[in-house]
Amino acid sequence: MTTPEERIAELLRALPAPPQGWMEAAKELPTARRELDTIVERIERDERFRALVLADLEEALRGEGVEPTPAVVALLRRRLAR
Amino acid sequence: MDPASDAALVARCLANEQGAWDELVDRYARYVYAIAARVYRLEPSDAEDVFQEVFARVFERLDTLRDVDALRPWIAQTTRRCAVDALRRSGRETAVEQLPDGADEGLAQLDEAMTVHAALAGLSPDCREILDRFFTRDESYRTIGTELDLPPGTIASRIARCLARLRDVLQPDMQRAQRAGKKADRPRVG
């Protein structure tokens, strides 16, 4: 027989905290979107830049001064896939 | 978790209110992480990709959410889809065919766990911190004692006291769930 406290403890354990860095990266999405707007505009009007981004997305982001965190890369991929 | 507060949070995010997106990430980070890492048992690197992909999708599509009260099920469904994609990419086809054993129960348990986590807001900051450190960060009595400047001998009793308070905060929810369970167990007549 499980006591209510044991059940509560079990449920607390069911939701461990993710690594802090993952959360920080996800929280940066609004800022990243503003930076990506500029990059996407450039991709649309500059064929060479577009090819560069498609060849190495992370390096292209670094070249534009944007840290290619997984969240930023995922966001840009989604924008490019539209 | 109160869906009404989820609806309010979505509205604040869509209005680009300062701090609203951070609050959404804080509220759902554990949930997304638990689905990816525990229910779907993804490797840490795949779990991280799924975690970031889910929040990127939620961020991009929040304005398409038709029922703002359904934020949690929407996030759960998005996470499941991303996790299945990750399984496909990693070549674990057999796992893609069906959910891992116990996945449905695991998802139901996470919904219950979200309610318990939301109830933590009804406790003092000290209680919240000690329960979080012990149960979700898996810290030892020694670490907690050092970090919070408490004698290790008092940690267990504080945890027990805080758990009892949390039980009291949850009591109405637990009684409602019990009543609902009994009702469901009754044989249908007619």
Interface predicted TM-score of the whole assembly (ipTM), two decimals: 0.77
B112 touches chain A (CB under 8 A): yes
Determine the pLDDT at residue B2. Answer: 57
Alpha helices in B19-137 (DSSP H): 20-34, 44-61, 71-89, 93-97, 103-119, 125-131
Say whether both B10 and B87 belong to one domain. yes
| pLDDT tens digits along A6-38 | 889 999 999 999 999 999 989 988 888 888 888
Q: Is A15 in contact with B57 (Cβ distance < 8 A)?
A: no
Residues B36 and B79 sit within 8 Å (Cβ to Cβ): yes
> From the CA of B189, how many Å to the nearest CA of chain A?
30
Domain total in chain B: 2
Two tokens, residue B18: 């300062």
Determine the pLDDT at residue B94. Answer: 52
Q: Is B164 in contact with A5 (Cβ distance < 8 A)?
A: yes
Which of B 26-85 lie inside 8 A of A, CB atoms? 26, 29-34, 37-38, 48-49, 51-53, 55-57, 59-60
Say whether both B38 and B76 belong to one domain. yes
Whether residue A1 is predicted with pLDDT greater than 90 in this model: the reply is no
Say whether both B14 and B58 belong to one domain. yes
Q: Report the pLDDT averaged over residues B36-63.
A: 92
> From the CA of B94, how many Å to the nearest CA of chain A?
25
Query: What proportion of chain B, given as a percentage, has pLDDT over 70?
Result: 82
Two tokens, residue B100: 């891992």
Whether residue B185 is predicted with pLDDT greater than 60 in this model: the reply is no
| pLDDT tens digits along B21-41 | 999 999 999 999 999 999 999
Mutate to test the interface with A, among B12, B16, B33, B168 (most CBs of A within 10 A): B33
Say whether both B3 and B34 belong to one domain. yes
Asked if residue B114 is part of any domain, the answer here is no
Distance CA A32, CA A18 (A): 21
| Nearest residue in A to B117, CA atom | A12
Q: Which amino acid belongs to residue A58? A: E
Last residue of a domain, one of B67, B101, B135: B101
Say whether both B56 and B127 belong to one domain. no
Under the banding of pLDDT at 50, 70 and 90, the label for residue B190 is very low
Residues A70 and A25 sit within 8 Å (Cβ to Cβ): yes
CB-CB neighbors (< 8 A) of A17 in chain B: 29-30, 33, 132, 136-137
CB-CB neighbors (< 8 A) of B172 in chain A: none
Asked if residue B76 is part of any domain, the answer here is yes
Asked if residue B78 is part of any domain, the answer here is yes
Say whether both B82 and B51 belong to one domain. yes
| pLDDT tens digits along A46-82 | 999 999 998 999 998 898 888 888 778 888 887 887 6
Whether residue B186 is predicted with pLDDT greater than 50 in this model: the reply is no
Last residue of a domain, one of B53, B69, B101: B101
Q: Is A22 in contact with B49 (Cβ distance < 8 A)?
A: no
Asked if residue B185 is part of any domain, the answer here is yes
Determine the pLDDT at residue B80. Answer: 93
Q: How many residues does chain A have?
A: 82
Q: Report the pLDDT averaged over residues B6-35.
A: 94
Say whether both B44 and B81 belong to one domain. yes
Determine the pLDDT at residue A72. Answer: 83
Under the banding of pLDDT at 50, 70 and 90, the label for residue B177 is low
* pTM: predicted TM-score of the whole model, two decimal places: 0.79
Determine the pLDDT at residue B19. Answer: 92
Q: Compute the C-alpha angle A62/A66/A70, nearest 5°.
A: 90
| pLDDT tens digits along B84-128 | 999 888 876 555 555 666 677 778 889 899 989 889 988 999 999
Read off the CATH number of the domain in which B60 is found. 1.10.1740.10
Q: Number of CB pairs < 8 Å for A and B?
A: 105
Range of the domain at B90: 1-101
Under the banding of pLDDT at 50, 70 and 90, the label for residue B129 is very high
